[in-house]
Amino acid sequence: MYKQRPYFIVFEGVEGCGKTYQSKKLYNKLKSKKIKSILTREPGGTPSAELIRNLILKDYFNKFQKQKFDKYTDTLLYLAARNEHIKSKIKPALNKRFVVICDRFTDSTIAYQVYGKKVNKKFIDNVHNYILDNIKPNLTFVLKVSNNSSKKRLLRRRTKNRYDNFKQSFYSSAQKAFIKISKNKKNYYIFDSSKNDKSLEKKIFDIVCKHLKIK
């Protein structure tokens, strides 16, 4: 019989990789097994963090405003949203022995802000030392995707966020960063999600079952 325990699972990858889709599929499968789980996202996840998310998006999409947030202001807003998310949702859920499934977490900050926008990593690490409260993923799935599949998925989206509008070269660079971050880490799994089919759902679920000792 499965014994409920706290577990933190994160999905990472560039826009159009299918991480949101796969995280929902995993959440629904765990629910069908009667396992207490929550599905959340970053930036956002709580009312206050979602307000910060909207502020960032609004700044980015204001075409008539020549001056945008400085990259460090932008990064601090993401980190502020993460602080709210951890304190108000992730940590309380883990304390109640829930399985937490999160669409993006700290690796996205490293891939996009550090590798992509050249924000100083020590700056981010210092803030993380205060806000993470020793919380880190037990399991991370990095989904890589072909340029063609990513483009097709982004074109099908009814609503787009700020990162759906970047050049393909930015996504390629970010994807390489995610793979580099994952290298030689035993709790990371990298999958090609270009097809995003049932077989990938099964592979992910089988790995989660093994780690959670679900029969």
Per-residue pLDDT of the chain (215 residues; tens, 9 = 90+): 678 899 999 999 988 788 999 999 999 999 999 999 999 999 999 999 999 998 887 765 555 556 678 899 999 999 999 999 999 999 999 999 999 999 999 999 999 999 988 999 999 999 999 999 999 999 999 999 876 655 555 555 555 555 555 666 777 888 899 999 999 899 999 998 877 678 999 999 999 999 999 87
Look at the domain 7-212 and name its fold: Rossmann fold (3.40.50)
Residue with tokens 């660079």: 173
Separation between Cα atoms, residue 210 and residue 201, nearest integer Å: 14
**Phi, psi for 152 (deg, rounded to 5):** -60, -45
Separation between Cα atoms, residue 11 and residue 103, nearest integer Å: 5
Q: For residue 167, what pLDDT is reported?
A: 65
Question: How many other β-carbons are positioned within 10 Å of the β-carbon of residue 106?
Answer: 21
**DSSP bridge partners of 186:** none
Q: Select from 78, 57, 73, 48 the least CA-distant residue to 159.
A: 57
SS (H, E, C) 101-148: EEECCHHHHHHHHHHHCCCCHHHHHHHHHHHCCCCCCCEEEEEECCHH
Segment 175-199, tens digit of pLDDT: 899 999 999 899 999 998 877 678 9
**DSSP bridge partners of 112:** none
Separation between Cα atoms, residue 40 and residue 99, nearest integer Å: 11
Separation between Cα atoms, residue 203 and residue 215, nearest integer Å: 15
Separation between Cα atoms, residue 50 and residue 48, nearest integer Å: 5
